[in-house]
Chain A
Amino acid sequence: MPAAVFTLDDLKLILRTGAGTDEGVDLDGDILDTDFEALGYESLAMLETGSRIEREYDITLDEEALAEARTPRTLIAFVNEHLAAIEQRA
């Protein structure tokens, strides 16, 4: 069971394995507030990313809310909200 906190490193691992990395994009750079599209991830890549997060953390993410998370910072916060809600219920 993964730790109930979703970090930038977790996201980067999922992006790399699920969608790969565009030439000329450095995921290890300062990307927290960079738009996913500028990082080379179009809607399908984000769909794949969302689905990988869902199965690794056993959560269900709302598709529309997921689509609105335009940067790593907002996506990480969005996922952590879900994880915290689960922890509270437990």
Chain B
Amino acid sequence: MNDATTVVTGLGVAAPNGLGLEPYWSAALAGRGGIGPVTRFDASGYPARLAGEIDGFAAEDHLPSRLLPQTDRMTQLALVGADWALQDAGIVPAELPEYDMGVITASHSGGFEFGQNELRALWSKGGRYVSAYQSFAWFYAVNSGQVSIRNGMRGPSGVVVSDQAGGLDALAQARRQIRRGTPVVVSGAVDASICPWGWVAQWASGRISRGTDPTRAYLPFDDEAAGHVPGEGGALLVLEEAGHARERGACQVYAELAGHSATFDPRPGSGRGSALQRAVEQALADADAVPDEVDVVFADAAAVPGLDRAEAEAITKVFGPRGVPVTAPKTMTGRLYSGAAPLDVATACLSIRDGVIPPTVHSSLSGAYDLDLVVDTPRAATVGTALVLARGHGGFNSAVVVRVPRT
């Protein structure tokens, strides 16, 4: 173990408002959302009818036919996202030693759509109609496994499952492996479970919006906040040891993955508050940074009043009233579960690159929160350091600090 610096050198994005890095970024800056009525199945009989769906993704345009019968949609998106991230980083995996590359992703629910289809085959037609690929296609770790196989990456690989917080915890685990000596790790997450089985499972969280107007359904930090809209997608990042990136002449270094912390909330009814603030403070300490250095916070933005309050309080306690710009571009995509935070980290990298903070759309800041929420239009700002927050159902909190590398 050493304290090697971990940097982000490649980004691959698949989001409801943009397939590919630059399409996503121009949509985010334009405040253009991807939330609309569910089209992937008939949701008319369900209490939630809106989703952030990715339109126009044809897996067969990007992947060999050999991979199609054995992959859930989330895996297809992850494989393509990883391809894009590697291309963006200028890395040709076949040119690097196979044990120098690892894959660590997060997953919220696994390949639900694939699993549902096979369960339907099992109960309606019988066991011999179940795909042999069901053995792994539904599994949480399958995105890591398939990205690893496709790219010949035999270094440390794994999966982190802590709901939305997992997207940051995976990046932190990748940084640990880089510090232990693996110079390149593909990390991040893609989730996609917009299918009846996924839908009822999400609904059980009690945090899904019943809204039917795409502009009023997901309103974090708003007096009318009443849950979130589920979405699909996420981002894959190429994380690399800084010296390795320098020596191979990486085309760009977006940012340093400088700090991380994960905390767990006290049990309900304990009387003790959320542990999110502690995650923020510890992530800053891990990055050797002080609150004044942070130029933007990408919020978890649950849009559930109690959770919004806890997040606003944590931010205000650390940074002071209206002490730092806060944004939630996920208002344009819906919550992407494990995919959300890696997408926020990718977005933070682009904010650093282009000096602009993408907006939170549709929300009007409640008077109850003393936040400097960036709403409706992007804000020009020199971004040297960004904080990304993510929380998972059941008490997971995670915070990551990314910044312009210190030289």
Q: Are A16 and B65 in contact (CB under 8 A)?
A: yes
CB B72 to nearest CB in A, in angstroms, measures 15
What residues on B are CB-neighbors of A18 within 8 Å? 69
- Tell me, yes or no, whether B57 is within 8 Å of chain A by CB: no
Q: Are B131 and A20 in contact (CB under 8 A)?
A: no
User: Within the assembled complex, what's the spacing in Å between the Cα atoms of A55 and B65?
Assistant: 22
- Stretch of A28-36, A44-52, A68-76 contacting B (4+ beta carbons < 8 Å): A44-52
| Given A20-B64, A23-B64: A44 touches B69 (CB 8 Å cut-off) | no
Question: Which residue of chain A has its CB nearest to the CB of B68?
Answer: A20
Contact of B69 among A20, A47, A54 (CB under 8 A): A20
- Tell me, yes or no, whether A22 is within 8 Å of chain B by CB: yes
Chain A, residues 53-84, CB within 8 Å of chain B (1/0): the string is 01100000000000000000000000000000
- Tell me, yes or no, whether B96 is within 8 Å of chain A by CB: no
CB A49 to nearest CB in B, in angstroms, measures 9
- Tell me, yes or no, whether B407 is within 8 Å of chain A by CB: no
Q: Are A20 and B67 in contact (CB under 8 A)?
A: yes
Q: Are A44 and B67 in contact (CB under 8 A)?
A: no
| Given A20-B64, A23-B64: A51 touches B69 (CB 8 Å cut-off) | no
Q: Are B132 and A48 in contact (CB under 8 A)?
A: yes
User: Within the assembled complex, what's the spacing in Å between the Cα atoms of A20 and B65?
Assistant: 5
Question: Which residue of chain B has its CB nearest to the CB of A21?
Answer: B65
- Tell me, yes or no, whether A19 is within 8 Å of chain B by CB: yes
Q: Are B128 and A44 in contact (CB under 8 A)?
A: no
Q: Are A22 and B69 in contact (CB under 8 A)?
A: no
Q: Are B69 and A17 in contact (CB under 8 A)?
A: yes
User: Within the assembled complex, what's the spacing in Å between the Cα atoms of A72 and B405?
Assistant: 56
Contact of A44 among B65, B129, B135 (CB under 8 A): B135
What residues on A are CB-neighbors of B69 within 8 Å? 17-20, 48
What residues on A are CB-neighbors of B64 within 8 Å? 20-23
- Tell me, yes or no, whether B46 is within 8 Å of chain A by CB: no
Question: Which residue of chain B has its CB nearest to the CB of A60?
Answer: B128
CB A90 to nearest CB in B, in angstroms, measures 21
CB A27 to nearest CB in B, in angstroms, measures 11
User: Within the assembled complex, what's the spacing in Å between the Cα atoms of A47 and B133?
Assistant: 9
CB A77 to nearest CB in B, in angstroms, measures 22
CB A26 to nearest CB in B, in angstroms, measures 13
CB contact list, B48-70 vs A, under 8 A:
64-70
What residues on B are CB-neighbors of A20 within 8 Å? 64-70
User: Within the assembled complex, what's the spacing in Å between the Cα atoms of A2 and B186?
Assistant: 47
Max chain A Cβ within 10 angstroms of own Cβ: one of B66, B70, B131 = B66
| Given A51-B128, A54-B128, A55-B128: A44 touches B66 (CB 8 Å cut-off) | no
User: Within the assembled complex, what's the spacing in Å between the Cα atoms of A23 and B128?
Assistant: 28
What residues on A are CB-neighbors of B129 within 8 Å? 55
| Given A51-B128, A54-B128, A55-B128: A44 touches B68 (CB 8 Å cut-off) | no
Chain B, residues 121-147, CB within 8 Å of chain A (1/0): the string is 000000011011101000000000000
Q: Are B66 and A21 in contact (CB under 8 A)?
A: yes
Question: Which residue of chain B has its CB nearest to the CB of A46?
Answer: B132
Q: Are A22 and B128 in contact (CB under 8 A)?
A: no
CB A19 to nearest CB in B, in angstroms, measures 6
CB A67 to nearest CB in B, in angstroms, measures 13
What residues on B are CB-neighbors of A21 within 8 Å? 64-66
CB A79 to nearest CB in B, in angstroms, measures 15
CB A58 to nearest CB in B, in angstroms, measures 10
Q: Are B131 and A48 in contact (CB under 8 A)?
A: yes
Question: Which residue of chain B has its CB nearest to the CB of A51?
Answer: B128
CB B113 to nearest CB in A, in angstroms, measures 18
User: Within the assembled complex, what's the spacing in Å between the Cα atoms of A17 and B70?
Assistant: 11
What residues on B are CB-neighbors of A47 within 8 Å? 132
User: Within the assembled complex, what's the spacing in Å between the Cα atoms of A20 and B68?
Assistant: 7
User: Within the assembled complex, what's the spacing in Å between the Cα atoms of A16 and B131?
Assistant: 14
What residues on A are CB-neighbors of B66 within 8 Å? 19-23, 40
User: Within the assembled complex, what's the spacing in Å between the Cα atoms of A60 and B128?
Assistant: 10
7 closest Cβ contacts across the A-B interface?
A20-B65, A48-B132, A20-B66, A47-B132, A23-B64, A22-B66, A55-B128
- Give me the interface of A with B, judged by CB distance under 8 Å: 16-23, 40, 44-45, 47-48, 51, 54-55
10 A-B pairs with C-beta separation under 8 A = A19-B69, A20-B64, A20-B65, A21-B65, A21-B66, A23-B64, A44-B132, A44-B133, A51-B128, A51-B132
Given pairs A20-B65, A20-B70, 15 additional interface contacts (CB within 8 A): A17-B69, A20-B66, A21-B64, A22-B64, A22-B66, A40-B66, A44-B70, A44-B132, A44-B133, A45-B132, A47-B132, A48-B131, A48-B132, A51-B132, A55-B129
